[in-house]
Every structure is written in C-alpha cells, then in structure tokens.
Amino acid sequence: MRPFEINTTAYDEENFVILTDLNEIQIKKVLEPIVNREREFGEYYDNDMLIDALLDAYPDNQFYHYNKPKLISI
C-alpha cells in the first residue's frame, strides 16, 4: 500500500489522498481522461467521481481515500 496525493487543479485545497496498492500508471490511466474532458469540454467532475472511477476500474484492488486527512500536531 502506498499513499498518493492527487492534484487535478491549481487549488491545493481540492487535493485528496489515496492509500492503495495501485501504481501511478494505473491511477493516471483512469483519472487523466476525466480531468482532460473537463479541461477541453467543460464536463463537470468532483473528487468523489474520480474515486468512484478508480473503484469501478479496479474493483479487486485495495483502496482508501481521504479528502482531508486528520492532522496530528505534536
């Protein structure tokens, strides 16, 4: 399992984190077409839709997502 921070916009607050056994190529294969359709044609998506697309594409893989991970300050 590896953590990935997913960034699809210029706004850091819209990033989300996934913990998965997928690799970067698998993740990009699913998410890039969705993001590119929005950039080229204005098709709407949100983070939940991106997560759903990953779950649909790889139903047998392990996958956890966090829109805003809990920060522990020590």
Q: Which two tokens stand for residue 34?
A: 């969705």
Cβ density class 53-70: b for 16+ within 10 Å, e for less = ebeeebeeeebebeeeee
Which pLDDT band, with edges at 50, 70 and 90, does 32 fall under? very high
pTM, full prediction: 0.88
Domain boundaries, the chain: 1-7+22-74
Cβ(65)–Cβ(16) under 8 Å? yes
Q: Kindly report, residue by residue over 37-73, the tens digit of the pLDDT.
A: 999 999 999 999 999 999 999 999 998 998 877 778 8
